[in-house]
Amino acid sequence: MSEAAERLAVLDLREEVPEAAQRLLAASGAAAFPAEAVASVRAILEAVRAGGDAALVELTARYDRVALTPETLRVDPAQVRAAASRAPAELRRALEAMIKQVRSFHRPQAPTSYRQAGPDGVELGFTWSPVRAAALYVPGGTAAYPTTVVMNAVPAQIAGVERIVVLTPPGTLQSNPAVAAALDLLGLEEIYQIGGAQAVAAAAYGTASVPRVDVIVGPGNLYVALAKREVYGLVGIDAVAGPSEVAILADGSAPARYIAADLIAQAEHDAHARCFLLTPSAALAAAVQAELTRLVAAAPRRAIIEAALREQSAILLTRDLAQAVMISNALAPEHLQVMVSAEAGLRPEALIGGAIFWGPDTPTALGDYWAGPNHVLPTGGAARFSGPLSVATFLRSSSYVRYTAAAIQAAAPQAALIADHEALHGHAAALRVRTERGDEAI
């Protein structure tokens, strides 16, 4: 077996789907979380719910080894500006341009409220309004990305959220001027130096120093993801994110060098990243393997890339493009890259993916940094029923109903009849009482 094959298995699906492929494809669904982690997160959430600021201070000392007080939980905006000033000027300019791109793409997403007029003065409507407050979680350490700050904050700002809170572990801004620069450029000043499950708890329950919010978004580690899942319903969340994913759907016309580079770009996220090439071309599969051997050997994050390609990823060799599409849609990947000839007749509407990147000159990395569509995407097959983070994530909707006395006279008998058949007699009575002639309440 070649060195490349050891890194990225080739699973031949042309005759039947082998057991190894079945296991790999089944893993695309949401995995069960470790019971110990679930118990730990629930204990942290309860500690913050009951103990407020004191619990936040104690948990920060325990997990981050930083001594805070209730007064120092919130970061002085001057500290953010000082950290941001250490970012290179060319990086600030690039981030400014990215923010402009992301704003331009997201602005048309804002939905429109509407009203309808009915007979006898009836008014019906559907209204969209921003949530009052949203929290953006910004991870610390190597996972602190300024681009994710932009992708989460811009849709909230376009939605018109009045209060945007940033939660990040102590030291993030000092150690990552790029993140501080993104916060500064976006004008975000309500920043709390708390991380982990305890930060999610503070935003969901509220404390004396951290007022509660309505929506919590942003990436994080296992404990952050679990905490968001636990508080969902009390607050809204973007998603419970799993490992990052890419599926590349390609035929023999695709450039092997591009595909290998794109697989590596996804694999370098972490050792759990999932990377797939689906192709009916055995020649392309072999060429991609050869390119991987060459490129991985020189990659700065080689150990992480090799682990992801070896453990979580594969080249899936299919009978034809139709089978490749069927398997890709079953995966419903976070990122889907399509590199097929125009003669294949494939259309985006036939594909399932959180974000679809069309053509050899449209890598996933372009979406991460520049194109404009959001890079906060559903993982673990959730693209089957959900989509990217958007302006709507930060909006609440309400229906509006107004009937007149004349209108209720016409509608009540039919509505009450339906209520009778559901055996909800109080509902029927509430309708019929409005059709009775008698003394009116004062």
d(CA 300, CA 260) in angstroms, rounded, equals 15
Cβ burial of 295 (10 Å; 0-12, 13-18, 19+) is: middle
Active-site residue, selected from the candidate residues 335, 375, 427, 436: 335
DSSP conformation letters of 363-375: -HHHHHHTSSS--
Query: With helix as H, strand as E and coil as C, how does 267-284 read?
Result: HCCCCCCEEEEEECCHHH
d(CA 365, CA 371) in angstroms, rounded, equals 9
What phi and psi, each to the nearest 5 degrees, are found at residue 271?
A: -65, -15
DSSP conformation letters of 127-182: EEEE-SEEEEE---GGG--HHHHHHHHHHHHHHT-SEEEEE--TTHHHH-HHHHHH
Query: With helix as H, strand as E and coil as C, how does 376-420 read?
Result: CCCCCCHHHCCCCCCHHHHEEEEEEEECCHHHHHHHHHHHHHHHH
d(CA 419, CA 156) in angstroms, rounded, equals 41
Active-site residue 106, yes or no? no
Active-site residue, selected from the candidate residues 306, 334, 375, 440: 334
d(CA 67, CA 60) in angstroms, rounded, equals 7
d(CA 39, CA 44) in angstroms, rounded, equals 9
| 114 secondary structure, DSSP code | E
In sequence order, what are the beta bridge partners of 54?
none
Active-site residue 375, yes or no? no
How would you list the strands of the sheet with 274-279, edge to edge? 9-12, 314-317, 274-279, 245-250, 335-339, 355-358
Q: Which residues are catalytic?
A: 334-335
